[in-house]
């Protein structure tokens, strides 16, 4: 697995590998009909990210059974996940009803409410009186009540505990929300360690075990960051099961998962990070000793990630690796200057289905006053993690302050150089 990783790096072939995966999955002929029904179109955050009919989750209560969510199964790892979009104001009740009906024990949230001044997800949970909000959220459309119980801040994530009460039967149960708060827009976690600490914390809670319903995993569209999490977790399960880090085929595993939900893992960058996280995670699950020189620097591989302006490949900034990476390109322009066009795999898939629409047109139409209220009254409390970014810097980042001004000196070595030629990410690109 590590040999494969370094060979791809040496050849600068991440875009090629990603394109091969995309082309193969674009040949899938699964039906997408229910998501395109007129009565369901306003329930989709992005018009070109739709669940396949055969794997979509169906709601059991009420006159509508549609929600933009897919059941992704990995039988070989005894894992199941529900991948879904970040709730919209009109789908918040449906989201919690799905959590209740599927007997899920956890929600794994991998995005922030506001990213680069764009609404990526509706505020779908009560923040609690201790954070200046309400303890209860009443969802009359689905007859559920969500009660805030507690919150614990960790380095890069927040763990919240809620009580869901069915107002019809008066039954209730607790559910955990693991909220990863430092996964940057347009990128990947700053290091595999931070991400793996989050993943293993989720694992240690037992919420991924098969005796519970599948965890509900979401980012904004439920394909990029969500796909990355599920790929890494399922591959680590298989490595531990086989007691062999070379027993898995990461590319094939991703293709199998794409049979359940389109577009899982959206960029070559996310694919590369998945490899790094799986390699590092394998050392944890197998308690492997340090590997020979040339491999030990994988843990540092994301201190500086660049898209080359020439070939759009990702290079690493390591000083003592036996594998010499390509030279870093000159300092790039600010991410706010990026071109507003990209041909992602979901666009290509949608083209086959005759429904190409710009994702801008289907973003949640949250009122400015509502989004301002979220930012000013709740964001600072929700994301006051003990991370390398200070509270003020996090607040500036959330409210749309320029990237450079929101990065602390401690993170200067982690700044992303977003030089792009063939991949022109729009400002609101879904990750």
Binding residues for substrate: 185, 219-225, 266
User: How many CA within 13 A on the CB side of residue 141?
Assistant: 12
Distances (CA, A) of 402 to 117, 335, 430: 10, 9, 19
User: Residue 218 is inside which H or E element, if any?
Assistant: strand 216-218
Per DSSP, the three-state class of 362 is helix
Distances (CA, A) of 26 to 20, 77, 161: 10, 25, 39
Would you give the distance in Å from CA 61 to the centre of its chain?
Answer: 28
The two three-digit tokens of residue 176, written as one number: 């955990």
The two three-digit tokens of residue 387, written as one number: 């991370």
Per DSSP, the three-state class of 12 is coil
Q: Give CA–CA dist 177/157, Å, rounded.
A: 10
The two three-digit tokens of residue 420, written as one number: 């792009």
User: Residue 68 is inside which H or E element, if any?
Assistant: strand 66-74
The two three-digit tokens of residue 255, written as one number: 């293709």
Please compute Rg for the chain using Cα positions.
21
Beta bridge partners of 118: 115
Provide DSSP, 273-286: HHHHHHHHHHHHHT
User: Is 235 known to be catalytic?
Assistant: no
Among positive and negative, which fits the CA dihedral 300, 227, 121, 417? positive
| Long-range Cβ contacts of 397-403 (<8 Å, 24+ apart) | 398/112, 398/113, 398/114, 398/115, 399/114, 399/117, 399/375, 400/114, 400/116, 400/117, 402/334, 402/336, 403/334, 403/335, 403/336
Catalytic option among 121, 219, 312, 419: 219
Q: Give CA–CA dist 203/121, Å, rounded.
A: 25
Q: Give CA–CA dist 277/348, Å, rounded.
A: 28
The two three-digit tokens of residue 429, written as one number: 């690109």
**Residues marked as catalytic:** 219
């Amino acid at each position: 697995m590590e040999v494969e990783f370094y060979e791809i790096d040496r050849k600068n072939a991440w875009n090629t590998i990603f394109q091969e995966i995309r082309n193969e999955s674009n040949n899938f002929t699964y039906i997408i009909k229910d998501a395109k029904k007129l009565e369901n179109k306003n329930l989709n955050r992005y018009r070109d990210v739709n669940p396949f009919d055969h794997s979509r989750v169906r709601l059991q209560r009420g006159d509508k059974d549609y929600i933009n969510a897919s059941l992704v199964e990995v039988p070989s790892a005894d894992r199941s996940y529900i991948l879904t979009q970040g709730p919209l104001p009109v789908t918040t009740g449906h989201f919690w009803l799905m959590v209740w009906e599927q007997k899920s024990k956890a929600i794994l949230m991998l995005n922030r409410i506001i990213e680069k001044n764009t609404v990526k997800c509706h505020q779908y949970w009560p923040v609690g009186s201790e954070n200046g909000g309400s303890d209860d959220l009443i969802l009359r459309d689905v007859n559920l009540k969500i009660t805030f119980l507690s919150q614990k801040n960790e380095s890069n994530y927040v763990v919240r505990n809620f009580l869901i009460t069915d107002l019809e039967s008066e039954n209730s149960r607790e559910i955990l929300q693991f909220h990863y708060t430092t996964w940057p827009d347009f990128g990947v976690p700053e290091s595999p360690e931070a991400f793996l600490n989050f993943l293993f914390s989720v694992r240690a809670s037992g919420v991924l075990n098969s005796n519970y319903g599948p965890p509900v995993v979401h980012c904004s569209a439920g394909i990029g960051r969500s796909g990355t999490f599920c790929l890494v977790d399922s591959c680590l399960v298989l490595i531990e099961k086989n007691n062999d880090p070379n027993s898995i085929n990461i590319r094939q595993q991703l293709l199998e998962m794409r049979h359940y939900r389109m577009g899982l893992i959206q960029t070559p960058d996310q694919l590369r990070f998945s490899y790094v996280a799986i390699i590092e995670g394998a050392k944890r699950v197998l308690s492997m000793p340090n590997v020979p020189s040339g491999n030990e620097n994988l843990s540092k591989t994301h201190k500086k990630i660049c898209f080359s302006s020439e070939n759009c490949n990702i290079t690493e900034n390591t000083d003592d690796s036996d594998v010499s990476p390509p030279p870093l390109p000159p300092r790039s322009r600010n991410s706010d200057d990026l071109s507003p066009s990209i041909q992602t795999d979901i666009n290509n898939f949608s083209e086959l289905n005759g429904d190409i629409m710009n994702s801008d047109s289907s973003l949640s139409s949250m009122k400015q006053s509502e989004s301002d209220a979220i930012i000013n009254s709740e964001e600072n409390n929700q994301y006051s993690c003990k991370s390398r970014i200070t509270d003020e810097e996090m607040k500036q980042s959330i409210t749309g302050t320029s990237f450079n001004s929101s990065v602390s000196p401690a993170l200067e070595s982690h700044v992303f150089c977003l030089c792009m030629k063939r991949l022109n990410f729009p400002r609101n690109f879904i990750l």
